[in-house]
Amino acid sequence: MYLLRIALLNALIEMGIGYVIGVRKGKDQLLIFLANLVTNLILNTTYVYLYPLMGKTATMMVYTVGEPFVILSEYFLYRSYMETEVNHFRLSLISNLITVMIGALWK
């Protein structure tokens, strides 16, 4: 349940960032929400399973492999399905960097 709450919070924050950047259509906001919910759950579930096996190495893998994968995955989803004309890579990069920084400060 904790991972779901974190994923929901992350998705809501990224929807807000998208709104500030100019993504205002409901369909596009739903895309941001769903893309973030799925990628966040995958990333954090992977971390939960890897940490007992690898310790702090799992943390480094999440930031060096997992986050770039998330950024690229969301970029391709936005580029393929988003109707709003924004720089999709910049949207994905900025929103993920902000939520990673918030997550780091939260801990």
pLDDT of 76 reads 98
Mean pLDDT of the region 79-99:
97
Q: ∠ CA 66-91-49 to the nearest 5 degrees?
A: 20
Whole-angstrom distance between the N-terminal and C-terminal Cα of the chain?
A: 18
Cα distance between residue 102 and residue 25, in whole Å: 25
pLDDT of 103 reads 86
pLDDT of 104 reads 85
Mean pLDDT of the region 4-33:
96
User: What digits encode the pLDDT tens for the residues 25-84?
Assistant: 999 999 999 999 999 999 999 988 888 999 889 888 888 999 999 999 999 999 999 999
pLDDT of 64 reads 92
pLDDT of 63 reads 87
Which secondary structure element, helix H or strand E, spans residue 48, and what is its range? Answer: helix 26-54
Q: Are 65 and 55 in contact (CB under 8 A)?
A: no
